[in-house]
Structure 1
C-alpha cells in the first residue's frame, strides 16, 4: 500500500465488498449512517471505488466526499486489492460543514443508474410505493405487482440478497443492495436517491433497479431498416454502456498516473479517450430516450413536484462545471417553492439539458439565472443566459431533431432540445425559447401547476 505520514484511518473489505474492519472516524460515520461491521459499505462513493479496485485488480486513489445526515466530509482515499478484498487507507479527513438541503449523492453513479435502470419508482418518506414505471420487459410483472400494492414498502416485492437485518432497513443500507426478482435468474442492484429538503428522504426517494448482467437475447423478428436507423433497442443499450464505461474507467486510471508517471502526451491521450467515451455514453442515452418518446405508447408518470427544488438540484449537479468556467448560476433560493405536476426525473432531465447548454454556450465570467414562478394555472421555470443568442431563423430550427445550428465542435448530438420539448409536451406542458442575437437566450419550461398544493 502506498504510505503517507498523513494517513489517519484504515479499513478492510472482503470479496463481497463488505466493510469488515474500520478505524475511526470512518467507523463512526459508517455507524451513524445505519451500517454494521461486518456489513455493506454505506457510502456510495467509497463502495464504487472499492468495487472497481477489486474487480480490475488495480490500486486506486482519489478524493471522495461522504456525508451523514448532519455533516459532509472530504478525504483522500487509497484502495489496494489484498487477498479476496481490499485494504483502504484514508488521509486528510476534513469536515465541510452541514450538507445542503438538496442531496444529489454521487452524480456519476446516479447518472449511470438512470442510464441502465430496468425499473424506476417514486417512493414516499417511509419507502412506500407511490408511482412505478418499468423500462425492461422482464420487469413488467414486478411493475404490475408494485402498482397493485401502492402504499406498501417496495422491499415487500423483492428478495434482498444476503439480507440479515431486521426490517425496516435504513435507506443507506438499501442503496446499492443486491436483490432478486421472482421468476428472473439475474441479480439486480437497487439505487435509492433521497428527495426533499432538510433530512435526506424527507420528501421521499427515487428508486432505480439495474440488472447486474445483460439479459440473454431472445429470438424476435428483425426490426425494420427505419427502426435500425432511427432508434437503438433498449436491450442493446446496456451492452454498449458497460464496455464504454470500462474504457472510461481505465482511461481515468491512466490519466491519473496511478501506476506511475507518464509523459504528458499520454495523459493527454487518456483524457481524450475519457471525453470521447463520455460523449458516446451521452449519445447512447439520447438515442435510447429518442426511441422511447417517439413510441406512441410512451406516457410519463405525473407526480407532485416542486419546480424550484428541481432547479436547485440541477444547479447543484452542474455547479462544478459552471465554476470551472467562472460562470455564476443563480438558482431559486431555499424556501422558494413552485408546486407543479410532472415526472420528477423527466423534469430534472430537461433542466439539466437546458442548464448544460447555457453553461456550454455562455462566455466565461457571465451569469445564468433560473427563475421559477406560477401564474394562471401554470408553473414555469426559465433558464436565461448571457450567451450569443439565437437569430429568428435559428429559433425556428432549435427544437428540430439532430439540429446543432451549425456547431461542429461541441460534442452534442443535436437531440437534447428535441427530446426536452417532447418530454414537456408528454407531461402536458410546453418548452419555448425567447432570444435575439447578442442578447442571450431564455428557455422556459411550463407545466400544469399543482393547485392542490397552493390552495
Structure 2
C-alpha cells in the first residue's frame, strides 16, 4: 500500500553537501541508507541534485527516486542554494510517496550468498559428479595439510578429508545435504562451512561441483619477537611465490566480494549507475586475481626441480570433465562444446590436474573468442607414441605470423579488455613440455583457432 506524505519536508545541507538537519521521514531514510545526521547525504539522487544546485548556484527542482530496502520512495525535490555562512542548500520535498517493494524471489538471496562464498573461499576444489576430488587450491596456511591430502587422494570423496559436524554418517551424502554443513579440518582450529556449487553438463545433468570452504573466524596470527640480525647478502626472493600469493588473494577476494555485494544490492538499495561501477570493480578484481594465480604458477613451473607426476590418465575423460566445468560459461553465449562421448577413451601419461588445467585454459580461451551460437570441438587422435587432443573453435583464429608469439609471456596479440593476462598459453606450453608433450597451434587452420595438446601415449 502506498503511503503519501502531503506536508512539505524540509532539510538543510552545508558547503560539503552534508545533511545537517532534516524533518521526518527524510531523517529516517538517511539513517536507513547508512548515513548519519550530520553527515554525508546517503541518498544518491538527493546527493546529486544538492551537489549540482550548490555547484551551479541555481535553484533546482525535479522528481527523485530512492529505496531503503523495504520501500520505494518517490518525491518532488526543490533545492535552493543559500548565500550564508554555511554555504549549503535549503531542501524541500513534497508529495512523498512510499510504496512497499515487491517480495524478493526466494532463491535470490541464496544465489547472492553463494557468489560471496565463492569469492571469499580459502579452499576451492573441483569435484566430479560423484563428489570426487579433481583439483584443489588453498590459500590459508592452516588448510595446507588438508589440501595436500586431497591432492594425494585425487578421485576420493571430499568428505573423507574433513570431519562433518552434527553428521555422523560418513557414506557419500546427497550434495544438498552437504551444502552449508559445518566441518573441521585437520591442522586447523577454525570451524569451516562448505558451499557446493553444481556445474551443469551438456545433457542438463550435473557434471561436477565446485567446493568452497569458508570460515567466519580469521586465522590467528602469531606475533614473533623482533630480533636484530646482521644483514647478509641473499638472493632476491620470488615476486609472488608461496608467501606473497596467499597474502594477495585474501584482500583481492574481499574486494571482489564487496563489489559483488554492492552490484547485486545485497547491502541495500542503489542506483543503477553505481551498481554498474561496482560491477566494473568486481571484474577488475577478478582479472587481478587471475594475474596473481598465473604469476604464482609461473614461479612453480620455472623453479628448479619442477616435475609433474607421471599419472596414467584417460585423456578423453579429462576432456569431458573440462567441458563439463565450463559448460555454464559456454551456454551463456549459446556455444556448444562437442566433447568426446562416454564410450571414447584415450590412455595417456601426464599429471591429471595439470592436464585439466591446460584444457580449461584452452577451452576457456575458445569460449572467450568464439562468436555466439558457435561450436567448440574437442578432437582426439592417437599415434603409436602420442595421445593428442585438439581444441578447435569458430572464432577469428590466429594469423600464421603470430603462431609462435601467442605462447610468449604477456602476449595477447593486441587484444585488450577481455580479462586475459597473456600468461595462460605460456604456462600451458611449459606444463605440456614438462610432461614430455607439446602444445602447439595449427597455423593452417582455415576456420577459427586450433590448439593441439600432445602427451606421451600410455603403452600399458
Structure 2 counterpart SS, 1:235: helix
What is the aligned partner in structure 1 of residue 323 from structure 2?
Answer: 315
Alignment of 1:30-41 (within 5 A): none
- Alpha-carbon deviations, 1:347-373, whole Å to 9, x = none? 232222111212222344543211123
What is the aligned partner in structure 2 of residue 344 from structure 1?
Answer: 352
- Alpha-carbon deviations, 1:420-454, whole Å to 9, x = none? 122223333321111258643211122233444xx
**Quick one: distance in 2 between partners of 1:443 and 1:151?**
28
Alignment of 1:330-341 (within 5 A): 330-341=338-349
Alignment of 1:250-399 (within 5 A): 250-254=261-265, 259-260=268-269, 262-263=271-272, 265-399=273-407
What is the aligned partner in structure 2 of residue 163 from structure 1?
Answer: 166
Structure 1 counterpart SS, 2:293: helix
Change in Cα spacing, 1:442 to 1:108, as seen in structure 2 (3 Å) is farther
Q: CA deviation at 1:214?
A: 5.2
What is the aligned partner in structure 2 of residue 402 from structure 1?
Answer: 410
**Quick one: distance in 2 between partners of 1:190 and 1:344?**
24
The 8 Å contact of residues 207 and 321 in structure 2, kept in 1 or not, is answered as: no
2:452 is the alignment partner of 1:444: yes
Change in Cα spacing, 1:132 to 1:289, as seen in structure 2 (3 Å) is closer
The 8 Å contact of residues 433 and 444 in structure 1, kept in 2 or not, is answered as: yes
What is the aligned partner in structure 1 of residue 106 from structure 2?
Answer: 77
Pairing partner for 2:123 from 117, 130, 142: 117
Change in Cα spacing, 1:241 to 1:216, as seen in structure 2 (3 Å) is farther
What is the aligned partner in structure 1 of residue 238 from structure 2?
Answer: 227
- Alpha-carbon deviations, 1:367-411, whole Å to 9, x = none? 321112333243221111233333344222211222222223322
Q: CA deviation at 1:157?
A: 6.1
Q: Which runs of 5+ in 2 are unaligned?
A: 1-68, 71-103
What is the aligned partner in structure 2 of residue 244 from structure 1?
Answer: 255
Change in Cα spacing, 1:244 to 1:367, as seen in structure 2 (3 Å) is same
The 8 Å contact of residues 380 and 447 in structure 1, kept in 2 or not, is answered as: yes
Structure 2 counterpart SS, 1:234: helix
- Alpha-carbon deviations, 1:51-89, whole Å to 9, x = none? xxxxxxx99xxxxxxxxxxxxxxx953467xxxxxxx89
The 8 Å contact of residues 428 and 447 in structure 1, kept in 2 or not, is answered as: yes
- Alpha-carbon deviations, 1:116-151, whole Å to 9, x = none? 438x79999797x99999886645666788899999
Query: What TM-score does the superposition give when structure 1 sets the normalisation length?
Result: 0.59
**Quick one: distance in 2 between partners of 1:152 and 1:411?**
34
**Please, which moves more after superposition, 163-172 or 132-141?**
132-141
Structure 1 counterpart SS, 2:436: coil
Structure 2 counterpart SS, 1:370: strand
The 8 Å contact of residues 237 and 288 in structure 1, kept in 2 or not, is answered as: no
**Quick one: distance in 2 between partners of 1:398 and 1:361?**
14
What is the aligned partner in structure 1 of residue 184 from structure 2?
Answer: 180
Change in Cα spacing, 1:141 to 1:78, as seen in structure 2 (3 Å) is closer
Structure 2 counterpart SS, 1:444: strand
- Alpha-carbon deviations, 1:154-206, whole Å to 9, x = none? 7676543x3342333526345654433455333345677999x9xxxx99999
Change in Cα spacing, 1:140 to 1:312, as seen in structure 2 (3 Å) is closer
Q: CA deviation at 1:415?
A: 0.8
Aligned pair count reads 350
**Quick one: distance in 2 between partners of 1:411 and 1:132?**
23
Change in Cα spacing, 1:380 to 1:142, as seen in structure 2 (3 Å) is same
2:424 is the alignment partner of 1:416: yes
**Quick one: distance in 2 between partners of 1:147 and 1:351?**
19
- Alpha-carbon deviations, 1:4-40, whole Å to 9, x = none? xxxxxxxxxxxxxxxxxxxxxxxxxxxxxxxxxxxxx
The 8 Å contact of residues 231 and 291 in structure 1, kept in 2 or not, is answered as: no
The 8 Å contact of residues 117 and 211 in structure 1, kept in 2 or not, is answered as: no
2:416 is the alignment partner of 1:427: no
**Please, which moves more after superposition, 283-292 or 316-325?**
316-325
**Which structure is larger by alpha-carbon Rg, 1 or 2?**
2
**Quick one: distance in 1 between partners of 2:315 and 2:153?**
28
